């Protein structure tokens, strides 16, 4: 038995809100040239439970409503910020003169090197962790109300991004800089002392993990950047643990073995490179240290569910 029950006309299964629809690439139309979208939307009626194939940032500009998730119902008003990870289910109910700005982004484009994001507390946890770790805490929507001065900076950042996206050829480096600035402002707007998985505060996933796990996460990024293999035995030795103990600690924190995590990050880095029209697949194979194209294709398809060529075609076919 599935354990279905209804609350206020909304279906739950085993306490989990069920999505009626999915906001997919067909609606969002992200592309290699525009790996994020900013949309101003007036919400005149209830938006039923749904999930997304991309992260969603939602900023309430005007009006009010109720926001429903597995955790319950929260009030939305001007200044509210919602961060919805990939696969998380939420609904907007009882909107009154509600206008929101939604921002969707391609996570592989955002995090080609996670070390950059870890320099600002809270970025990885809030805006990328659902792609990295299996813990359910990283997949829950977060809602808070930004104080007026920071909210104004968030609103202006969204306008700047929309303006750059409106150009015939958005400048990638500038678009990225604008988007990182937006994420920093959103992270700063969150209330102090918000709990993170592992018991830490200020929502910074790597700092919430024990020292050996943080070391391993950083070592994976260094290996990817320097085109050298990640060795579990060597990483364990440098962390001062046996290989078995190291692997167990890492898996308990992240949901992956160290080797599986490394391969996932390797493929995520490949995705970012495939979005660059100047890079050939042969360039990607070389840049990430794969032994040959067949090796690269095998790992890519296992993790992404499609070939590198199909992935690239999907985001170039979306056009400008």
Average pLDDT of the chain is 89
| 88 has a pLDDT exceeding 90 | yes
CA gap 283, 273 in Å, rounded: 9
| 250 has a pLDDT exceeding 60 | yes
Residue 64, domain member (yes or no): yes
Can you tell me the mean pLDDT for 112-126?
A: 82
CA gap 196, 128 in Å, rounded: 14
β-pairing verdict for 10-13 and 21-23: unpaired
Task: Give the chain's domain count.
Answer: 2
From 189, 222, 253, the end of a domain falls on: 189
Give the domain CATH number at 306.
Answer: 1.10.10.60
- For CA atoms 185, 222, 250, 284, the dihedral sign is positive
pLDDT of residue 183: 96
Residues 146 and 35 in one domain: yes
Whether residue 234 contacts residue 195, with contact meaning beta carbons closer than 8 Å, is answered with: no
Distance separating the N- and C-terminal Cα atoms of the chain? 46
Residues 183 and 297 in one domain: no
Residues 14 and 126 in one domain: yes
Q: How many residues does the chain have?
A: 320
From 121, 156, 189, the end of a domain falls on: 189
DSSP 219-287: HHHHHHHHT----HHHHHHHHTS-HHHHHHHHHHHHSS-HHHHHHHHHHHHHHHHHTSTT--HHHHHHH
| 63 has a pLDDT exceeding 70 | yes
| 36 has a pLDDT exceeding 80 | yes
For tokens 């104080």, the residue is 147
Residues 32 and 178 in one domain: yes
Residue 195, domain member (yes or no): no
Closest by CA to 28, choosing from 50, 53, 8, is 53
Residues 166 and 213 in one domain: no
Residues 142 and 219 in one domain: no
Can you tell me the mean pLDDT for 209-224?
A: 89
**Contacts of 317 by beta carbon, 8 Å cutoff, 6+ apart:** none
Residue 58, domain member (yes or no): yes
From 189, 219, 241, the end of a domain falls on: 189
Residues 161 and 296 in one domain: no
Residue 102, domain member (yes or no): yes
Q: What percent of the chain has pLDDT over 70?
A: 89
Residues 28 and 152 in one domain: yes
Residues 117 and 23 in one domain: yes
Summarised one tens digit per residue, pLDDT across range 149-174 is 999 999 999 999 999 999 999 999 99
Any idea what the Cα angle at residue 27 is, between residues 151 and 32, rounded to 5°? 80
Residue 194, domain member (yes or no): no
- H/E element, 144: strand 142-145
Residues 57 and 127 in one domain: yes
Residue 195 confidence class, pLDDT cut points 50, 70, 90: very low
Residue 11 confidence class, pLDDT cut points 50, 70, 90: low
**Would you state the structure tokens that stand for residue 225, as one six-digit string?**
């950047």
**Would you state the structure tokens that stand for residue 113, as one six-digit string?**
């090197």
Whether residue 258 contacts residue 250, with contact meaning beta carbons closer than 8 Å, is answered with: yes
- H/E element, 62: strand 55-69
| 201 has a pLDDT exceeding 50 | no
Domain range for 14 is 4-189
For tokens 């990182």, the residue is 180
Residue 133, domain member (yes or no): yes
Give the domain CATH number at 147.
Answer: 2.60.120.280
Residues 236 and 278 in one domain: yes
pLDDT of residue 10: 56
| 198 has a pLDDT exceeding 50 | no
Residue 203, domain member (yes or no): no
Residues 222 and 103 in one domain: no
Partners of 13 in beta bridges: 4, 16
Q: HEC string of 169-193?
A: CCCHHHHHHHHHHHHHHHHHHCCCC
């Amino acid at each position: 038995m599935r354990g279905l029950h209804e609350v206020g006309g909304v279906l739950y299964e085993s306490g989990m809100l069920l999505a009626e629809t999915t906001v997919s690439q067909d609606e969002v139309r992200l592309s290699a040239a525009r790996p994020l979208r900013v949309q101003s939307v007036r919400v005149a009626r209830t938006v039923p439970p749904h999930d997304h194939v991309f992260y969603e940032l939602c900023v309430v500009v005007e009006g009010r409503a109720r926001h429903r998730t597995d955790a319950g119902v929260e009030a939305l008003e001007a200044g509210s910020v919602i961060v919805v990870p990939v696969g998380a289910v939420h609904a907007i109910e009882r909107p009154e003169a509600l206008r929101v700005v939604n921002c969707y982004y391609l996570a592989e484009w955002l995090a080609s090197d996670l070390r950059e994001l870890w320099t600002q507390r809270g970025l990885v946890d809030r805006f990328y962790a659902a792609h990295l770790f299996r813990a359910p805490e990283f997949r829950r929507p977060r809602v808070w109300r930004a104080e007026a001065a920071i909210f104004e900076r968030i609103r202006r950042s969204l306008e700047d991004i929309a303006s750059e996206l409106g150009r015939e050829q958005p400048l990638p480096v500038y678009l990225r800089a604008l988007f990182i600035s937006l994420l920093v402002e959103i992270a700063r707007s969150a209330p102090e002392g918000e709990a993170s998985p592992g018991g830490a505060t200020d929502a910074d996933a790597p700092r919430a993990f024990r020292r050996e796990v943080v070391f391993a996460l950083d070592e994976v990024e260094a290996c990817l950047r320097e085109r050298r293999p990640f060795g579990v035995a060597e990483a364990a030795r440098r962390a001062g643990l046996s290989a078995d103990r190291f692997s167990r600690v890492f898996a308990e924190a992240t949901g992956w073995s160290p080797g599986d995590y490394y391969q996932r990050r390797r493929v995520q880095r490949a995705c970012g490179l495939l979005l660059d029209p100047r890079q050939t697949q042969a360039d990607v194979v070389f840049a990430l240290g794969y032994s040959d194209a067949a090796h690269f294709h095998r790992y890519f398809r296992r993790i992404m569910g499609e070939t590198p060529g199909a992935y690239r075609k999907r985001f170039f076919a979306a056009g400008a």
